[in-house]
Amino acid sequence: MTRSTDPSEQPHVEHRSRVVTGSTPSPTSREDGERACQRALEQNPGDARLWLRYGVFAYNRDAFEVALKRWQKAIELDDQLATAHFNRGVCLRKIRREQDAINAFRQALRADPVQDEACAALVEMLAEAGSYAEAMEASADLLALNPDAPGTVAAHALTLERQGQVQDAFAFLLPKVEAGMHDARAVVALGKVCQRMRPPSELAVPYLETLLDDASLSRSDRVAALKSLAHLHDASEHFEAAFDCMKKARALEPVDLNMVQQRIDFVSSVRQHYTRERD
């Protein structure tokens, strides 16, 4: 098993499930870095890690097919390079080749059975496809080896929630967060589960607020936490607080027409609540 923890060997992407991490170099440093990597490969064409890093540069400039070819070359040189399989999965998911992405994440886990990010992504994708039994099996396998893997914990809880097992999801996740699992993925998942409870539980609110107080929180995690808190406030009929959280989340996102429509729909929902209250 060959696993990388070097951010330069992972693509930078703002992903809803936070399946990858990495720094965001400037365009100039990216270009210089890619050229330097190319020169290094001319001297060492059999270096799998150089091909891994070379693929990251392509991914970060949206050359996805090029990135896939470079990571495939890394795998040909070292098929136990878990990060190369994982990065291919991220890229394939990005371009909506779902089954290929699922296979890539499975290969990452074969190379590294405790890779939390790969397992979380795999479980998410299987659950989205309605393959709940496979999703639960995948998360159970990793959690048996590492019960405190936050990405997989969150994905496992949300798979239960998707199946309507909201109380089971709550009973599984709340003790983890209470015991100190304050990773954004776990806390945001708790917010989603609490929102689905009847009546909605506000137990996730202080954890989400504490998470948002962390100045080092990434933009994507901050947006996810704000949205989770907004929906939880909305479910609990704290409409002004919900609107304020959603407004902050939208301010952090790039302009997108679909997002604008969602915001309009959200505002309309809040207004309807107020109208019913007045009537």
In a domain, 187, yes or no: no
Within 8 A by CB and 6+ apart from 227, the residues are 245, 246, 249
In a domain, 154, yes or no: no
Asked if residues 216 and 208 have their Cβ atoms less than 8 Å apart, the reply is: no
**DSSP bridge pairs for 81:** 2
What is the four-CA torsion angle of 95, 101, 104, 110, rounded to 10 degrees? 150
**84, amino acid identity:** A
Distance between CA 146 and CA 58 in Å, rounded? 33
Write the burial class of residue 255 (CB in 10 Å: 0-12 exposed, 13-18 middle, 19+ buried): exposed
- Over the stretch 83-116, which tens digit does the pLDDT of each residue have? 999 999 999 999 999 999 999 999 999 999 999 9
Q: Which helix (H) or strand (E) holds 55?
A: helix 48-60
| Average pLDDT score over residue span 222-242 | 96
Range of the domain at 37: 1-112
- What was the pLDDT predicted at 266? 75
In a domain, 41, yes or no: yes
- Over the stretch 4-15, which tens digit does the pLDDT of each residue have? 445 455 554 433
pTM: 0.80
**Residue 18 confidence (pLDDT) above 50:** no
In a domain, 184, yes or no: no
In a domain, 70, yes or no: yes
CATH number at residue 27: 1.25.40.10
Within 8 A by CB and 6+ apart from 253, the residues are 223, 259
In a domain, 46, yes or no: yes
In a domain, 35, yes or no: yes
Looking at the structure of the chain, the number of domains it has is 1
**Residue 271 confidence (pLDDT) above 90:** no
Write the burial class of residue 5 (CB in 10 Å: 0-12 exposed, 13-18 middle, 19+ buried): exposed
- How far, in Å, are 154, 213, 220, 242 from residue 217 at the CA level? 17, 8, 8, 20
**Residue 137 confidence (pLDDT) above 60:** yes
DSSP state of 6: -
Asked if residues 245 and 211 have their Cβ atoms less than 8 Å apart, the reply is: no
Measure CA 166 to chain center. Answer: 21
Is residue 2 classed as helix, strand or coil in its secondary structure? strand
Is residue 202 classed as helix, strand or coil in its secondary structure? coil
